[in-house]
Amino acid sequence: MAKLQKGQATPKIAKTKGRRTTMKKSASKGATAMNTGIKKEYLKTRKVCKVTFRLPKIAAIDAKSVCIVGDFNDWGIHANRMKKLRSGDYTITLELEPEREYQFRYLVDEYRWENDWNADRYVKSPYGDSDNSVIIL
C-alpha cells in the first residue's frame, strides 16, 4: 500500500468478495462522482451530465429484461432498455440535463418495479402505493 503524504486524507476502503476496493468521494462539477450504483459525469464541453445507472444482479435475479423508466423518457416502459453485463448486473448510460431532479424506477421483465438502492432520495409516487427513486444533478 502506498504511503500517504503529510496532510493527505486516508481513502475509504470497502471489502468486496475478499478484495479491497478504494471508494471515491463525491467530486464537484467538472469531474466524476461515483456511487455504487450511479455514476455522474458532468461534461465541460456541453451542458449535460452523463449518468450511468447500474442495477445489481441481486435486484434482478433471473430477469430477462430490465428497462429504466422515468421523467427523462416520459415514463416510457420500452424507451431505455438496459444492457446485461457478464456479472449479471444491468447498466445504461444516459445524457441528462444538469441542475434538475429526475424521478425514476427500474422495470424488470415488464411487470416488477425496483428502486435504485443508491438513489439521492425517494419520493412518494403519484399513485401512492410506492416510492420513486430520485437522482439530483
pLDDT digits (tens, 9 = 90+) for 69-121: 999 999 999 999 999 999 999 999 999 999 999 999 999 999 999 999 999 99
Task: Answer for the pair 108, 63: CB distance below 8 angstroms, yes or no.
Answer: yes
Task: Single out the residue of 4, 3, 43, 36 nearest to residue 21, CA to CA.
Answer: 36
In tens, the pLDDT along 9-68 reads 444 433 333 333 333 333 444 444 444 589 999 999 999 999 999 999 999 999 999 999
3-state secondary structure of 42: strand
Instruction: Show the domains of the chain with their CATH numbers.
Output: 12-136 (2.60.40.10)
Q: Tell me the sheet residues that pair with 92.
A: 53
